[in-house]
Chains A and B, each alone.
Chain A
Amino acid sequence: MKSLSQVSANSVWKIAALAILVWGASATATAQTARIQTSSLDHLAAKASESVDVNIDESLMQLAAKVFNSKDPDEAKVKHLVSGLKGIYVKVFEFEKEGEYVVADLESIRSQLRGPGWNKIVNVRSKKEGSVDVYLMTSGSQVLGLAVLAVDAKEIAVVNILGNIDLERLSALEGQFGVPDLSIEKPKRKN
């Protein structure tokens, strides 16, 4: 028969294990919520003149942050840029002519961005034609991720960056790590 102390010890371990599981599950859920699912767009690849799909997950982001040399000024900038990022996911479709996609094709993306946690950043300016909408997901004061939906008559671009990201970093990432040129004007710094 188990002694009271043994029972208590077992209970404590079980509770601790449960707590770790719950914490792990909630942490995973938090990390996943900023990820936009874009597979509903995949059928457009057949109509597109060109389609690009980029997936840089957390392990690759960590790798990039780790291997760039802090002592090299250029590499230090990149290291700083990617530190705190947990993933970059990009999907771009370019069409030869207008009318190759319909508004409904984008609804699955837009409905996710209407979900809890996502807020559209107003006053984002882009030199690109069409619309460039930028959404930020936050939890309290913590930024969980960012999503960009750039659409014009002949192009759809969905950029989803997980982790600590802001407009300035997004602008700096353009042309690197698979992030396309979104022509987002850098936000002015407050004095």
Chain B
Amino acid sequence: MIKRMVSIGMLALACLCIPCSPVQAKDDNFSDAVKVIERFYRVKHKGIPFLARAGMKTVVTAARIAGGPKRRLAEVGSVKVAYFEDQDFSSGNGVVGFRAAINAALGATWTPLIQVSSPKDGEQVYIFLRDAGEKFNVLLITIERRDASVIQVTLSPSTLAKLLKDPDEMGRAISEEATSDE
């Protein structure tokens, strides 16, 4: 239940950042997070702008959710994306080990907001927050059996608060839009 909530909340965050161009990690803890995944699972990330494949429907949805294109753009800062595609994430010493590793790498400067794991399904979701002056940095890590991603975005307090309150509602709208033929 909550896992779904978190997952679609992450999708919501990701979609809110579509207008920004994905970039490679070069600074702060974003690259630390990428490195932790690479070391733990012995995989290599790609600079694939996977969000670019999302299509216009999702962009439109993101705009609706944020209250219109202008408001959406105003709320979004920068985005960094690293994507791991078609690689094996079953190695390593399990969910508990990875959770400890990522918390150790980010814990000094980031607050772990939500951490969800489903070992049987091979799914893990981590959302970390960091104060960035008047806005907030959000670091999202998703790991599935064959794919993973690390996304860092900057959100306004109001967007973040809405996500804190009810990521399910925001995510459901995106989910419906993304699967519709309209």
Give chain A's interface residues, CB within 8 Å of chain B.
42-43, 45-46, 48-57, 59-60, 63-64, 66-68, 78, 92, 96, 175-178, 180-181
Contact = CB atoms under 8 A, between A and B. Distances in A.
B118 A50 contact: yes
A60 B95 contact: no
Nearest to A61: B164
B131 interface: yes
Nearest to A51: B117
Contacts of B112: 53, 55
Interface stretch (B1-9, B35-43, B52-60, B142-150): B1-9
Determine which residue in B2, B113, B116, B160 has the highest number of CB atoms from chain A within 10 A of its CB, and name it: B2
B119 A46 contact: yes
B164 A60 contact: yes
B164 A180 contact: no
B164 A64 contact: yes
Contacts of B29: none
B119 A52 contact: no
A148 B160 CA distance: 26
B9 to A, nearest CB: 10
A176 B120 CA distance: 26
A56 B113 contact: yes
B114 interface: yes
B114 A53 contact: yes
Given A45-B96, A45-B99, A180-B1, A68 B161 contact: yes
B3 A50 contact: yes
A180 B5 CA distance: 11
Interface of B: 1-3, 6, 94-96, 99, 111-120, 129, 131, 157-158, 160-161, 164-166, 168
A68 to B, nearest CB: 6
Contacts of A48: 117, 119
Closest 10 CB pairs of A and B: A53-B115, A52-B2, A67-B161, A50-B118, A64-B161, A67-B158, A46-B96, A67-B157, A52-B116, A51-B117
A7 B70 CA distance: 62
Interface centre among B94, B119, B131 (most CB of A within 10 A): B119
29 contacts: A43-B96, A46-B94, A46-B95, A46-B96, A46-B119, A49-B118, A50-B117, A51-B116, A51-B117, A51-B118, A52-B2, A52-B114, A52-B116, A54-B2, A55-B112, A55-B113, A56-B164, A57-B111, A60-B111, A60-B129, A60-B164, A63-B160, A64-B164, A68-B161, A175-B166, A176-B165, A178-B2, A178-B114, A180-B1
Among B116, B131, B165, residue most surrounded by chain A Cβ atoms (within 10 Å) = B165
Contacts of B96: 42-43, 45-46
Contacts of A52: 2-3, 6, 114-116
B165 A49 contact: no
B112 to A, nearest CB: 6
Nearest to B5: A178
Contacts of B160: 63
A95 to B, nearest CB: 10
Given A45-B119, A52-B116, 10 more contacts: A43-B96, A45-B95, A49-B119, A51-B95, A54-B113, A55-B111, A59-B131, A63-B157, A63-B161, A175-B168
